[in-house]
Amino acid sequence: MNDWLDEINWNSDGLVPAIAQDHQTGRVLMMAWMNREALALTAAEQRAIYWSRSRGKLWRKGEESGHVQKLHELRLDCDADVIILKVEQLGGIACHTGRESCFYRVLEDGAWKTVDAVRKDPHAIYSAGHAHD
């Protein structure tokens, strides 16, 4: 039933990098890791579910922030070792800093310059004690 999962070249930790991309604009929102269970659940539930390496558990994107990523399409690259999720980002915020995308810094003149505004104060998104979603 889940034979498609066997076609993925999981890394030595049993993980595959997953890039979340806005299904309408194509903007890269974030990158996270998925294990077999996370990817199977993502496909089954039609929402992004990642593997949190720091917490050692499944991470249902938006479970704390409400910023769920609704899945529109899953893609696998030519080497079968990177996943792209085309998603609808609820709330328009993917990053725990309160920005649309985690990729909000641009290299300019040898320094990283922040070019995207915070859409919502992270303290207003997360309850005390939670560093990130």
116 is in an annotated binding site: no
Q: Kind of pairing, strands 83-89 and 16-22?
A: parallel
Residues 55-62 have a mean pLDDT of 95
Kindly report, residue by residue over 88-130, the tens digit of the pLDDT.
Answer: 999 999 999 999 999 999 999 999 999 999 999 988 877 644 4
102 labeled binding residue = yes
50 close to 116: Cβ distance less than 8 angstroms: no
pLDDT of 65 > 90? The answer is no
Residue 65 or residue 44, greater confidence: 44
Residue 121 marked ligand-binding? no
Mean pLDDT of 22-34: 98
DSSP 119: S
Known binding residue 6? Answer is no
Mapped onto helix, strand or coil, the DSSP state of residue 44 is helix
